[in-house]
Amino acid sequence: MIIRHLDQALTSHFAKYSEVLVLLGARQVGKTTILKRIFPDAHYLVVDNEPIKNALERYDPIAYKQLLNTGSGIVVLDEIHRLSDPGRAAKIFFDQLPEYKLIVTGSSAFNIKNKASESLAGRKIDYHLYPLSLSEYLVQNGLENSLSFRPIEALFKGEKTGEIFRPYDHKAVFNNILIYGLYPAMQSHPSDYVYLINLIDSVVFKDLVDLSLLENKSAALSLLKLLAYQVGSLVNYAELASKLSIGAKTVKRYIELFEQSFIIFTIKPYSSRKRDEIAKMPKVYFYDVGLRNALINNFESIENRGDAGQLFENFVISEFLKYNNYGNFGYSFNYWRTKSGSEVDLVLSKSGYETIAVEVKSKSQRINQAFISRYPESRIAVISKDNYWV
Q: State which residues form the domain around 191.
A: 135-383
Looking at the structure, tell me whether residues 70 and 168 fall in a common domain.
Answer: no
Distance CA 276, CA 343 (A): 12
Looking at the structure, tell me whether residues 117 and 155 fall in a common domain.
Answer: no
Looking at the structure, tell me whether residues 157 and 220 fall in a common domain.
Answer: yes
Looking at the structure, tell me whether residues 157 and 195 fall in a common domain.
Answer: yes
Looking at the structure, tell me whether residues 153 and 214 fall in a common domain.
Answer: yes
Looking at the structure, tell me whether residues 287 and 157 fall in a common domain.
Answer: yes
Distance CA 149, CA 67 (A): 41
Angle between helices 237-244 and 217-229 (to 10 degrees): 130
Question: What does the pLDDT look like over 272-331, one tens digit per residue?
Answer: 766 766 778 899 999 999 999 999 999 999 999 999 999 999 999 999 999 999 999 999
Cβ contacts of residue 312 below 8 Å, gap of 6+? 178, 360, 362, 385
Looking at the structure, tell me whether residues 140 and 272 fall in a common domain.
Answer: yes
In a domain, 388, yes or no: no
Contact indicator for 286, 318 with CB cutoff of 8 Å: yes
Question: What does the pLDDT look like over 82-136, one tens digit per residue?
Answer: 888 888 899 999 999 999 999 998 876 555 444 555 677 788 899 999 999 999 9
Looking at the structure, tell me whether residues 303 and 352 fall in a common domain.
Answer: yes
Looking at the structure, tell me whether residues 146 and 98 fall in a common domain.
Answer: no
Looking at the structure, tell me whether residues 111 and 162 fall in a common domain.
Answer: no
Number of folded domains that form the chain: 2
Looking at the structure, tell me whether residues 101 and 147 fall in a common domain.
Answer: no
More confident residue, 301 or 204: 301
Question: What does the pLDDT look like over 63-82, one tens digit per residue?
Answer: 999 998 767 899 999 888 78
- The closest of 289, 335, 75 to 193, measured between CA atoms, is 289
Reported as a pLDDT band with limits 50, 70 and 90, residue 34 is very high
